[in-house]
Every structure is written in C-alpha cells, then in structure tokens.
Amino acid sequence: MAKKDNKFSEYGIATQAVHTGTDYDEGTGAVRRPLHMANSYKLPDDLSTVNYSSTDLLMYSRNGNPNQHWLEEKIAGLYNADDAIVLASGVAALHALFWTLLKSGDRVVYPNVSYMAVYRMFHELFNKKFNVETVIVDMTDLEAVKRAITPGTKLVHIETPDNPTVGVTDIEAIAKIAHENGALLSVDNTFASPLNQQPLELGADFVVDALTKFINGHGDAQGGAIISNDLKTMDRIRYEAQVNVGSVISPFNAWQIFRGSVTFPLRMQRINESAQKIAEWLEQRENITFVSYPGLKSNPGYEIAKKQMKNGYGGVISFGLNADDKTIERMCAKLKVITFAVSLGHDESLIFPQPSYDERINLYPEKFRNGFIRFSVGLEDVDDIISDLNLALLSVNL
C-alpha cells in the first residue's frame, strides 16, 4: 500500500483522534462512515487487472475491508507514521510481525518480562518449530543486551512499560545497539499508548499496539496494530500474515475500535492523572510491599521514563502484598468499584493478581515472585477507586 493519506498530519493527537480516517459517507452524506459487513465486493469487468493477493482492491474481506482501512488511517495518524496494519488481536499483530521478519537460522533477542504470548511464541514455538534462535535478556542491562545481539540477530523486541511488572526499557539506547549490529527493533507500546510514547521517533522500526486495551478503551472489542514507516516490509506483512494466514480484523471490531479511539487522548489523560495519584497513595500505605509505576521517583526506570514518555506514565500499576494467593483472592472478591478480571485499559478499573505458579515467575525480578498484583486504572472517580481498594485491603487485615 502507499503511504497513508492524512489531511490532519499537522494537527495534534486529539484532533487526529477525532478526524483522521473519517469523512462524510459518499453515498448518503452521513457524518459518519458506515459499517460494511460484507465479505466480498463486486469484481471489475476486466478480470485481467485483478491481483488476488492485493490488499488495496476491495474484493474479499480477508484481503482488507473498508472499516479496517479507515482504522489503519487513524492509527497511523496517532503514531505520526506512514502506515499501520490492523489485525484481529494484539497477539495476531505480534505474530504477523515475527512470522514475516524471522526465518530459520535467524536470531531474535527478547526481554525476560514480556506479554505471555511473546514468551510462548519464542520459548516454545518459533525455536522448536522453525529453528529460530531465541534469546532472553534483561533489557535494563545494556551490557547484557550488547552481548546478546550477535551477528545474525535479525530482530530485537522490547516492551515498555512491560506487562506485567511495568518495568521501563530505554528505547533509544536499545535502538542504537540493535542498529549498530544490523538488527531491527520492535516495541510493544500498549502500556504507554501513543499519547505517552512515540517509539518510532525514538528509533524503533516497528511498533505494536494491542488496540483491545487503551485505544479501544471500552472492553468490548479485540484488535491489534503494527505501525511503521517501512512500507515495503509492511506490504510483506499484509501478504504473508494477513492474506495468506488470515489474521485480518472483522469489520465490526474495526468499527467499534474506531469509535472507541475517538476519545482515546481524553481518556488516557484522565487515566494518567488517576494512576499517578493511586501509585503515590499505594506507596505511602502500610502493608504494601512495593509499587511499580514509571511516574514514581522511587522507580528504577523513572529517569528513562521521564526522558522518553510525555503527558504521563500510563494506566497500569503493579504492587505487592505480603499475603498468600488465597488472601489476595478474598481481597479481590470484596471490591465493589474495581472489576476482578484480566485485561487492561478499559473504562472500568481492573485488578488481576499474578499467580505465583506463572511459568515465567523465575524470570521476573525477585520482588515480583510473590503476592504481586497488576492493576489497570479506569475512568471512575479516583477517590472511589482508592477507597474501594483501601476497604478491600482492610477487610483481609491488610
């Protein structure tokens, strides 16, 4: 595909969230573009012109559908990028990127803390099925990163802040090391979101964003995006992973995420403010063993976060309790405002105790191996969130 057309590229992110990718509907003049629930489209009269692998020509919805294309324009706009590909989930986007870039004999370097599916893809699947050399490294240790990126390293993948410890990685420093050694850098930017962090400007080659989370923001649709200025590789991803593997997003989910994304900057700004307050409250509350949030001065990644993030430090906080799994479950069951469920970036606050039997637990920094909770700050009144958490903790004598 060609570089995305964007009439609003000179405008701010809130203006882009409202206007990029939308227009008057050509048929009716409606001020919203429609939802096209069709899986095929009328073919041109002259079939000799048709490329059946094209993702430009509207022909079959796996090759691309209008709602996907409009959402791609918006996501590219939010990231000031030339192109975005929107697929069925965040994991579909991660897989599409890895599947397209890596081949047998290549080496990929990835962090000790990452989204579960990234760990499984590299630790269980790409290495054993496809003979890709997969190397785990602590991305906060730049000397270790330098040692891990040997010749033949094709890709370095990072996540910052990371899921679930909310640790911070220096994007610019890792980009420099990767590029000096001929490797590409991909950054999972889901926790930060484009309001708070722009990895392409910091040297990343590819960004992945799980749209399911903050960009959709309403807990009712799944989708993921790859964002890049490398148009040639983006077309390969469309061909290899979307058309021929089938990870395209449904028009309905794309439409829903498009709708959610309109208010994304406003929601994220509120979430940034509430999360900072909640993290500071947790830090001074008794019986909390640690708080991991990039906006806290006590955080080892604070200086890096301050340098590479803007507007705020995101909506996820990790914290520790001196309690066993059962006590933490009882505490979660007492919550009235905060929802006891996985996922993050919704309108409602979400709490998810990290099971101490997590298969990766020994890869995490020591303090995250016990009584550790991931908390996603929602849009409720911040005082209600704090008081709900406080009462639930008191109910189990914490």
Site residues (vs ligand PLP, CB under 6 A): 89-91, 115, 159, 163, 188, 190-191, 210, 212-213, 222, 224
What is the amino acid identity at position 56? D
Q: How far is the CB of 214 from ligand PLP (least distance, A)?
A: 9
| 224 vs 294 by CB, closer to ligand PLP | 224
Q: How far is the CB of 25 from ligand PLP (least distance, A)?
A: 29
| 87 vs 328 by CB, closer to ligand PLP | 87
Distances (CA, A) of 315 to 17, 166, 311: 19, 10, 12
| 195 vs 210 by CB, closer to ligand PLP | 210
| 95 vs 154 by CB, closer to ligand PLP | 95
From the list 55, 58, 80, 67, the residue with the least C-alpha distance to 4 is: 80
What is the amino acid identity at position 368? F
> Dmax of the chain from CA atoms?
75
| 18 vs 192 by CB, closer to ligand PLP | 192
Residue at shortest CB range from ligand PLP: 90
Q: How far is the CB of 292 from ligand PLP (least distance, A)?
A: 15
Q: How far is the CB of 189 from ligand PLP (least distance, A)?
A: 8
Q: How far is the CB of 212 from ligand PLP (least distance, A)?
A: 4
Integer Cα distance of 163 and 237 in angstroms = 25
Q: What is the CA radius of gyration of the chain?
A: 21
| 6 vs 186 by CB, closer to ligand PLP | 186
| 65 vs 190 by CB, closer to ligand PLP | 190
Q: Are 149 and 109 in contact (CB under 8 A)?
A: yes
What is the amino acid identity at position 180? E
Judging by DSSP bridges, how do beta strands 224-228 and 83-87 pair with one another? antiparallel
Q: Are 79 and 200 in contact (CB under 8 A)?
A: yes
Q: Are 308 and 363 in contact (CB under 8 A)?
A: no
Q: How far is the CB of 213 from ligand PLP (least distance, A)?
A: 6
Q: How far is the CB of 280 from ligand PLP (least distance, A)?
A: 23
